[in-house]
């Protein structure tokens, strides 16, 4: 790879410019990817982190949890079914709350769950609540970042029900709002007054084999069983938000491929006579191809290293202000894709190198 290194050293400015463009593109790809992951988590982490594979919703609810209504009767039918051994009810209620003694308002999602079931979230601070204490709730730690502390009282604006924060959880948000977990005793305070239908649920979380799931769907009428992925798509704005960001990422990869293709093709055309001379003195086509690939990979790897550092640096600066999440596995995947796109962008140049005729190239130079 001596030839590739010497050329990189000789034409520093030329390769610095293309390297700078590659840094900007890969940096933008990583940043938008981190933003997409962060927004996805901020919109639906409570569903993503839920210890369940399926959700039972009311039939024709368009996969939207907040549109689904399941009665006590349906829940009892599910419990009696063989597949109901690994089922747990879920109530979801979006509302505006205030801190007791303050006029400041915030939006939150109440999640009513069985605290002894698989639905119970991990507590990172405070004490896990039980199924009998209707006064205490567990809130996502994003509320702690907003100044709320253990023991603070929060009041539901619609029903006037007041609750005390007994614990903080992590990674629990729904529709860009922090999730507040409570038991079904506390859930009753959020139900319409005078309701004669008993406890109303929005969904039932479920684990089980595909055979059990199919049997349950056939045996109980008025329900539909969806996967967590389908439930995510049913969250208002989730699909549109993620689709827009994914489209941006795809276009950035396409732009990167075209930029690299044009750059290396132009350079290859400019060096046709040099390649002809090298071939005339015995340099094989494979040697020239390997040098070109080495140049592409070197520029790409260096650019990726710089852009990864810049991305994580910016993420530290915007921490808490913008939902941003970029895991090492995603960085590795993006890096491999960028390497593949870089090699694809160099294919036209490789074809020109392979087709170079030494005599013709030397004659053109003369």
* pLDDT digit string, tens, across residues 11-53: 677 778 888 888 998 899 899 999 988 888 888 899 988 888 9
Interval 184-203: pLDDT, tens: 999 988 876 655 556 789 99
Q: How far apart are CA 305 and CA 325, in angstroms?
A: 18
| Residue extents of the structural domains in the chain | 1-44+239-364, 47-235
Q: How far apart are CA 172 and CA 109, in angstroms?
A: 10
- Residue 174, CB half-sphere, CA atoms under 13 Å: how many? 23
b/e burial code for range 188-220 (CB count within 10 A of at least 16 → b): bbbbeeeeeeebbbbbbbbbbeeebbeebbeeb
The model's confidence at residue 321, banded by pLDDT at 50, 70 and 90, is confident
Decide if pLDDT at 273 tops 70: no
The model's confidence at residue 366, banded by pLDDT at 50, 70 and 90, is very low
Mean pLDDT, residues 338-366 taken together: 70
- Element of type H or E holding 87: strand 87-99
Q: Are 109 and 180 in contact (CB under 8 A)?
A: yes
Mean pLDDT, residues 167-178 taken together: 91
């Amino acid at each position: 790879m001596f030839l590739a290194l010497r050329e990189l050293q000789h034409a520093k400015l030329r390769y610095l410019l293309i390297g700078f463009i590659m840094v900007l593109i890969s940096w933008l790809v990583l940043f938008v990817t981190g933003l997409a992951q962060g927004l996805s988590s901020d919109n639906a982490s409570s569903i993503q982190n839920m210890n369940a594979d399926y959700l039972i919703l009311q039939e024709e609810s368009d996969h939207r949890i907040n549109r689904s209504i399941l009665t006590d009767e349906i829940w009892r039918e599910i419990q009696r079914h063989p597949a109901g051994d690994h089922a747990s009810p879920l109530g979801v209620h979006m509302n505006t709350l205030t801190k007791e003694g303050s006029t400041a308002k915030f939006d939150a999602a109440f999640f009513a769950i069985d605290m002894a079931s698989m639905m119970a979230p991990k507590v990172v601070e405070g004490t896990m609540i039980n199924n009998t204490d209707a006064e205490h709730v567990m809130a996502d730690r994003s509320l702690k970042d907003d100044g709320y502390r253990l023991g603070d009282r929060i009041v539901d604006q619609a029903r006037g029900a007041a609750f005390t924060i007994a614990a903080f959880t992590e990674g629990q948000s729904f529709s860009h709002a922090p999730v507040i977990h409570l038991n079904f005793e506390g859930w009753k305070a959020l139900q319409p007054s005078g309701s004669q239908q008993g406890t109303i649920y929005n969904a039932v979380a479920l684990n089980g084999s595909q055979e059990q799931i199919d049997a349950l769907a056939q045996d109980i009428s008025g329900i539909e069983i969806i996967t967590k992925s389908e439930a995510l798509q049913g969250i208002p704005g989730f699909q549109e938000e993620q689709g827009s960001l994914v489209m941006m990422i795809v276009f950035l990869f396409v732009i990167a491929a075209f930029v690299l293709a044009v750059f290396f093709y132009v350079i290859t055309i400019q060096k046709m006579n040099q390649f002809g001379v090298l071939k005339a003195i015995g340099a094989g086509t494979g040697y020239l191809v390997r040098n070109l690939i080495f140049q592409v990979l070197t520029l790409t790897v260096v650019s990726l290293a710089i852009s990864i550092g810049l991305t994580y640096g910016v993420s530290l600066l915007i921490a808490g202000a913008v939902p941003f999440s970029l895991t090492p596995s995603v960085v590795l995947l993006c890096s491999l894709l960028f390497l593949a796109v870089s090699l694809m962008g160099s294919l036209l140049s490789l074809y020109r190198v392979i087709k170079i005729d030494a005599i013709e190239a030397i004659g053109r130079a003369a």
